[in-house]
């Protein structure tokens, strides 16, 4: 199991040929109280960097981008009724979607946990 | 996720800046000031606390000024201001406050403001103005350029302003200044709070009962701390201030009202008293009087999206069959309503409460209905 991060604060936790995508704990803290999440449809094909989901706080809407290319194979529909789960447990129960990767090598361009924590330190 | 943009311009600080930073507020640029958007507990908690207890807001960035008639006559100063705004200033009683708008010659709104007839002894012929932070320099220049001889504008940048809002506000302030307990809505008084001179008015911008309290900048931190010492009071940032005023159906300048909207389109006819409607004599009177008589072509309405998705400022409003009829000017999540709420302008024929609308959010039509405002009932002290 490998977790990688983007500079836009998405994470992908890869298990086999698929990965769980969400936003980092730092990102949920920056957003504040999440009040609405819009998820993609299962079966949707995404290219790396595409808008994959929308997360809205009281103040503003933000896009969640696909950290890798692939097909959406599952979404966390619990977020539609309990969007606050993103604040409570961003890395766990607050996941957004599962993507089947089309190109594992795209992961090489993303940050490791350690690199991401350094990145967060550099911007906060 | 996209990062918010930051400006590199040097930001001004209110006299309470250090208080916000000390408790871990998240500071953001707002109208040229470094302001608290939220405290560590977050906007939802702050919003709900204000509706259930009492919230304390730093609004010292707003512009405070006095309009003073040399001849110490209320009539002189009132007539000078009536030439710029559509409210009846002449019939204000001492210490009475009124909401109004600075109007352009075409009836567009240059800013909205609060006007109070100063009631303190020796201040006959004084009006106290509170204007928006983002507009204060423009407002003061506009006013000064149009004042008759013998009336002058004194900007008071050395004053702080805070708002204490919520159902517990009256009890909290009565403990410190008992004479505030019976102050009616939109009336003011000069009081001592813990030995600090304060000008207190029963008003605010959350829909709740409460007060706006002006004091000297040097006393602001002490007064802030004194008020926060009551366990019913917590500091509240600009984020919750926005969601509270949106649920209360109150306009935010630069969003719901601006130079393109008239007070009648904006549904602010209640702020134009009878004599002024009939007599006119303010900038844009011709348009305002025509719109009062014939109705405005478009009007500001409350909008309730039917799903959970908020529609933000700028979302296009269409009829269910896709004809564009307006735009959302404020929109977001209403914590008290526990769902999305919005306001915007629609053509008059689509403005009745219950009318079906579509809001275009991220390219998709979102079903919504015209809704009565306020979304959360006003609880003013009448």
B227 and B340, same domain (yes or no):
no
B242 and B308, same domain (yes or no):
no
Q: Which helix (H) or strand (E) holds B345?
A: strand B339-347
Q: CA–CA distance from B321 to each of B318, B354, B356, B358 (Å)?
A: 8, 16, 10, 9
Split into its structural domains, chain B has a count of 2
Residue among B1, B44, B45 minimizing CB distance to A63: B1
- Looking at residues A93-113, what average pLDDT do you find? 97
Kindly determine whether residue A59 and residue B332, on different chains, have CB atoms separated by under 8 Å: yes
DSSP-based three-state secondary structure for B216: strand
pLDDT of the residue at B6: 55
B56 located within any domain: yes
Of B231, B247, B263, the residue that ends a domain is B247
**What domains can you pick out in chain A, each with its CATH number?**
2-104 (2.40.50.100)
B310 and B187, same domain (yes or no):
no
pLDDT tens, N- to C-terminus, chain B (382 residues): 554 455 567 999 999 999 999 999 999 999 999 999 999 999 999 999 999 999 999 999 999 999 999 999 999 999 999 999 999 999 999 999 999 999 999 999 999 999 999 999 999 999 999 999 999 999 999 999 999 999 999 999 999 999 999 999 999 999 999 999 999 999 999 999 999 999 999 999 999 999 999 999 999 999 999 999 999 999 999 999 999 999 999 999 999 999 999 999 999 999 999 999 999 999 999 999 999 999 999 999 999 999 999 999 999 999 999 999 999 999 999 999 999 999 999 999 999 999 999 999 999 999 999 999 999 999 998 8
CA B309/CA B327 separation, integer angstroms: 16
Nearest CA in chain B to A55: B1
What pairs with residue B102 in β-bridges? B111
Nearest CA in chain B to A26: B1
Residue among A32, A33, A62 minimizing CB distance to B1: A62
B322 and B177, same domain (yes or no):
no
CA A97/CA A47 separation, integer angstroms: 14
- Say which DSSP state B91 is in: T
B311 and B371, same domain (yes or no):
yes
- Which H, E and C letters describe chain A, residue by residue? CEEEECCCCEEEEEECCEEEEEECHHHHHHHCCEEEEECCCCCCEECCCCEEEEEEECCCEEEEECCCCEEEEEECCHHHHCCCHHHHCCCCCCCCEEEEECCHHHHHHCECHHHHHHHHHHHC
- The edge-to-edge listing of strands for the beta sheet with B210-216 is B188-193, B196-201, B210-216, B159-165, B54-58, B233-235
B86 located within any domain: no
Kindly determine whether residue A56 and residue B310, on different chains, have CB atoms separated by under 8 Å: yes
B321 and B241, same domain (yes or no):
no
Tell me whether B337 touches chain A (CB under 8 Å). Answer: no
The set of residues, in sequence order, having a beta carbon less than 8 Å from that of B143 and lying 6+ positions away, is B67, B84, B102, B153
CA B31/CA B237 separation, integer angstroms: 14
B260 located within any domain: no
pLDDT of the residue at A77: 96
B52 and B181, same domain (yes or no):
yes
B189 and B336, same domain (yes or no):
no
Tell me whether B239 touches chain A (CB under 8 Å). Answer: yes
Q: How many CB atoms lie within 10 A of CB B154?
A: 11
Range of the domain at B329: 299-376
CA A23/CA A62 separation, integer angstroms: 11
Please, what's the b/e burial string for B338-359 (b: 16 or more CB within 10 A of its CB; e: otherwise)?
ebbbbbbbbbeebbeeebebbb
Burial of A79: CB neighbours in 10 Å, binned 0-12, 13-18, 19+: buried
Nearest CA in chain B to A38: B309
* CATH code, B222: 3.30.1360.120
Which of chain B's residues have a Cβ under 8 Å away from the Cβ of A60?
4, 312
pLDDT of the residue at A124: 80
Of B218, B247, B276, the residue that ends a domain is B247
Q: Any idea which residue has 């735009």 for tokens?
A: B327
B213 located within any domain: yes
Kindly determine whether residue A56 and residue B43, on different chains, have CB atoms separated by under 8 Å: no
Residue among A27, A33, A65 minimizing CB distance to B43: A33
B214 and B349, same domain (yes or no):
no
Tell me whether A57 touches chain B (CB under 8 Å). Answer: yes
Residue among A9, A32, A36 minimizing CB distance to B1: A9
B44 and B167, same domain (yes or no):
yes
Tell me whether B2 touches chain A (CB under 8 Å). Answer: yes
Instruction: For this complex, say whether ipTM is above 0.90.
Output: no
Q: How many CB atoms lie within 10 A of CB B5?
A: 6
Task: Look at the pTM and tell me if it is higher than 0.90.
Answer: yes
Kindly determine whether residue B332 and residue A58, on different chains, have CB atoms separated by under 8 Å: yes
The angle formed by the CA atoms of residues A83, A89 and A95, to the nearest 5 degrees, is: 65
Tell me whether B42 touches chain A (CB under 8 Å). Answer: yes
B87 located within any domain: no
* CATH code, B309: 2.40.30.110
Q: How far is B233 from chain A (nearest CA, A)?
A: 21
B172 and B319, same domain (yes or no):
no
Q: Smallest Cα–Cα separation from B193: which of B208, B209, B166, B172?
A: B172
Residue among B3, B309, B333 minimizing CB distance to A58: B333
Tell me whether B305 touches chain A (CB under 8 Å). Answer: no
Burial of A77: CB neighbours in 10 Å, binned 0-12, 13-18, 19+: exposed
Burial of A96: CB neighbours in 10 Å, binned 0-12, 13-18, 19+: buried
The angle formed by the CA atoms of residues B284, B262 and B366, to the nearest 5 degrees, is: 165
B316 located within any domain: yes
What pairs with residue A5 in β-bridges? A11, A111
B6 located within any domain: no
The angle formed by the CA atoms of residues A64, A68 and A69, to the nearest 5 degrees, is: 110
CA B241/CA B335 separation, integer angstroms: 12
Of B247, B272, B289, the residue that ends a domain is B247
Kindly determine whether residue B1 and residue A35, on different chains, have CB atoms separated by under 8 Å: no
Give the pair of three-digit tokens for residue B122.
């020796």
B354 and B227, same domain (yes or no):
no
Tell me whether A33 touches chain B (CB under 8 Å). Answer: yes
pLDDT of the residue at B8: 64
B141 located within any domain: no
């Amino acid at each position: 199991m490998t977790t990688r991060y983007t500079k836009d604060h998405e994470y992908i936790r890869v298990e086999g040929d698929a990965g769980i995508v969400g936003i980092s704990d730092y990102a949920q803290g920056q957003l504040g109280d999440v009040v609405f999440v819009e998820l993609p449809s299962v079966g949707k094909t995404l290219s790396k960097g595409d808008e994959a989901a929308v997360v809205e706080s009281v103040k503003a809407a933000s896009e969640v981008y696909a950290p890798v290319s692939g097909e959406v194979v599952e979404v966390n529909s619990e977020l539609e009724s309990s969007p606050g789960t993103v604040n409570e447990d961003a890395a766990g129960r607050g996941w957004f979607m599962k993507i089947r990767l089309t190109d594992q090598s795209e992961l090489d361009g993303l940050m490791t946990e350690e690199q991401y924590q350094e990145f967060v330190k550099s911007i906060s | 996720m996209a990062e918010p943009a930051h400006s590199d311009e040097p930001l001004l600080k209110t006299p309470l800046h250090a208080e916000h930073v000390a408790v871990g507020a998240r500071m953001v640029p707002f109208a040229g000031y470094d302001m608290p958007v939220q405290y560590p507990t977050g906007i939802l908690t702050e919003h709900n606390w204000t509706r259930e207890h009492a919230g304390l807001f730093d609004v010292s960035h707003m512009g405070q000024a006095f309009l003073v008639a040399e001849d110490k006559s209320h009539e002189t100063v009132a007539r000078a201001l009536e030439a710029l705004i559509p409210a009846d200033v002449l019939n204000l009683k001492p210490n009475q406050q009124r909401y109004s708008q600075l109007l352009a010659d075409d009836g567009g709104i240059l800013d909205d403001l609060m006007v109070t007839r100063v009631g303190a002894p020796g201040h006959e012929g004084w009006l106290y103005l509170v204007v928006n932070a983002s507009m204060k320099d423009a407002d003061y220049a506009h006013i000064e350029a149009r004042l008759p001889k013998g009336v002058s504008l004194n900007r008071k940048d050395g004053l702080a302003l805070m708002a204490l809002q919520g159902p517990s506000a009256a009890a909290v302030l009565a403990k410190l200044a008992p004479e505030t307990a019976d102050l009616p809505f939109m009336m003011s008084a000069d009081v001592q709070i813990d030995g600090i001179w304060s000008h207190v008015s029963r008003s605010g911008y959350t829909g709740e009962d409460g007060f706006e309290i002006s004091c000297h900048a040097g006393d602001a931190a002490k007064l802030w701390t004194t008020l926060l010492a009551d366990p019913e009071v917590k500091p509240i940032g600009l984020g919750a201030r926005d969601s509270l005023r949106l649920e209360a159906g109150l306009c935010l300048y630069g969003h719901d009202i601006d130079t393109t909207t008239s007070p009648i389109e904006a549904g602010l006819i209640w702020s134009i008293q009878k004599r002024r409607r009939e007599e006119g004599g303010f900038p844009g009177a011709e348009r305002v009087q025509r719109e009062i008589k014939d109705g405005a072509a478009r009007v500001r309405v409350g909008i309730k999206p039917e799903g959970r998705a908020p529609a933000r400022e700028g979302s296009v409003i269409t009829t269910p069959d896709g004809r564009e009829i307006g735009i959302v000017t404020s929109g977001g999540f209403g914590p008290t309503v526990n769902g999305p709420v919005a306001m915007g302008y629609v053509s008059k024929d689509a403005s009745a409460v219950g009318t079906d609308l579509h809001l275009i959010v991220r390219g998709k039509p979102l079903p919504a209905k015209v809704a009565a405002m306020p979304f959360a009932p006003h609880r003013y002290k009448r």
